[in-house]
Amino acid sequence: MKIFKDRKNLQNEILNTKGISFVPTMGGLHKGHISLIKKSKKTKLKTLVSIFVNPKQFNEKKDFISYPRNQKKDLKILKNLKVDYLYLPSIKDIYSFKPKNKVFLDKFSKQLCGKYRKGHFPGVLNVVNRFLDIIKPKKLFMGKKDFQQLYLVKKHIIKRKINTKIVECETIREKNGVACSSRNYRLNLKHKKVASKIFHFLKKIKYKFNFINPNLLKKEIIKLGANKIDYIEFYNIRSFKRSKKLDKNNRIFIAYFLNNVRLIDNV
């Protein structure tokens, strides 16, 4: 595995490859990341993983500071997976140039997480746009846990006619049902049990009822142990419009807190 901290050196290295398969991460690698990387390695392209905790997508400084970081562990995982390239840029390396494309931010960026985390999605799209400019990957692997993020990146790529294909990957879950996330490292055993109860509750009610009032759901989830709920909404995953029924084309989107740890999921 070759490690690069400078974008120009990275570009010189990958210039003559047949193409790059790209897996962007913020580190704190878990089973979800590993699944993306393994799927990437099945392509005939070289696999490039980035680790960059992007300050511009955090709406609270304390959240950026407390975000799980364990580079030593991450490097060991990536070496074992035989990743071809690792990009470890500095903030300056990412933000000291003007990208070719202007960020396209779909109006959906103001809903769900965008409504509660001001500046989050502009920050996400900003950094993704820069990575695409630097690496020019043929394929970009992203998970469905961050469904809104996936949708917005896809819209940006289509709108700006960027020659990169997004490969959508299913959400990977722990044995207790909780979606894999770097933030899970900040949960204690009690919190993990609560998160598991919330997932199984949502999964159960989705197939048991055609419609449930979101406000009633909030009350039930608070009873299960959540400290706070930003939102719980039903959306059609094809049209990405609010829905009043629950079926295979609709999902329950949720963002809630266990103490100071914010978790998102869609079921």
Considering the domain boundaries, does residue 100 fall inside one?
yes
Task: Examine the domain organization and report whether 34 and 75 are in the same domain.
Answer: yes
State mean pLDDT over 68-77. Answer: 95
What is the reported pLDDT for 209? 67
Give Cα 41 distance to the centre of its chain: 19
Looking at 126, 146, 169, the residue that finishes a domain is 169
Q: In the listed set 114, 138, 169, which residue is the last one of a domain according to the structure?
A: 169
What dihedral angle (degrees, nearest 10) is formed by the CA atoms of 62, 66, 71, 77? -130
Structure-token pair, residue 143:
């998970």
Do 7 and 134 touch, CB atoms closer than 8 A? yes
Would residue 254 count as lying in a domain?
yes
Higher pLDDT, 212 or 262: 262
Residue 33 annotated among the catalytic residues of the structure: yes
Please report whether residue 88 resides in a domain. Answer: yes
User: Do 134 and 192 lie in a common domain?
Assistant: no
| Shared domain check, 138 and 65 | yes
Asked if the structure places residue 189 within a domain, the reply is yes
Euclidean distance between CA atoms 2 and 17, whole angstroms:
14
Mean pLDDT for 229-245 is 86
Report residue 144 as tokens.
């469905």
Closest by CA position to 128, among listed 97, 149, 146? 149
What SS3 state is found at 131?
helix
Q: Tally Cβ neighbours within 10 Å of residue 95.
A: 16
Does residue 176 form part of some domain?
no
Same domain, 75 and 207: no
Instruction: Tell me: do 36 and 138 sit in the same domain.
Output: yes
Bridge-based pairing of strands 250-258 and 228-236 is antiparallel
User: Tell me, what's the pLDDT at 171?
Assistant: 97
Say which range, 104-108, 149-153, 223-227, 236-240, has the weakest mean pLDDT.
236-240
Catalytic annotation, pick one of 33, 120, 156, 191: 33
How many whole angstroms separate alpha carbon 104 and alpha carbon 50? 22
Alpha helices in the chain, H assignment, sequence order: 7-14, 31-41, 61-66, 71-80, 91-95, 113-116, 120-135, 147-159, 189-208, 214-224
pLDDT tops 80 at residue 67:
yes
User: Is the same domain home to 189 and 140?
Assistant: no
Domains identified in the chain, total number: 2
Cα–Cα distance for residue pair 53/89, rounded to 1 Å = 10
Q: Is the pTM of this model over 0.85?
A: yes
CA-based nearest residue to 178, from 225, 145, 220: 145
CA dist 177 and 255 (Å) reads: 16
| Domain endpoint, select from 169, 202, 230 | 169
Output the pLDDT for position 60: 85
Query: Residue 175: inside a domain, yes or no?
Result: no
Domain of residue 51, residue span = 2-169
Clarify whether residues 92 and 147 are in a common domain. Answer: yes
The per-residue pLDDT of the chain, averaged, comes to: 94
* pLDDT, tens digit (0-9, with 9 covering 90-100), for 199-222: 999 998 887 766 678 888 999 999
Does residue 196 form part of some domain? yes
Taking each helix axis as running N to C, give the angle between helix 147-159 and helix 120-135, from 0 to 180 degrees, rounded to the nearest 10.
Answer: 50
What is the rounded CA–CA span in Å between residue 124 and residue 117?
12
CA pair distance 40, 44, nearest whole angstrom: 9
14 and 128 housed in the same domain:
yes
Q: Which CATH number do you get for residue 50?
A: 3.40.50.620
Give the distance between the most distant pair of CA atoms in the chain: 57
Q: What digits encode the pLDDT tens for the residues 91-144?
A: 999 999 999 999 999 999 999 999 999 999 999 999 999 999 999 999 999 999
Verify that 25 and 134 share a domain, yes or no.
yes
How far is Cα 102 from Cα 118, in angstroms, rounded to an integer?
Answer: 20
pLDDT at 173 over 90: yes
Q: How far is CA 146 from the centre of its chain?
A: 4
Residue 177 lies in a domain: no
User: Is 12 in the same domain as 44?
Assistant: yes
10 and 93 belong to one structural domain:
yes
245 φ, ψ (degrees, to nearest 5): -135, 165
pLDDT, tens only, 10-63: 999 999 899 999 999 999 999 999 999 999 999 999 999 999 999 999 988 888
Whichever domain contains 194, its CATH number is 3.30.1300.10
Same domain membership, residue 165 and residue 45: yes
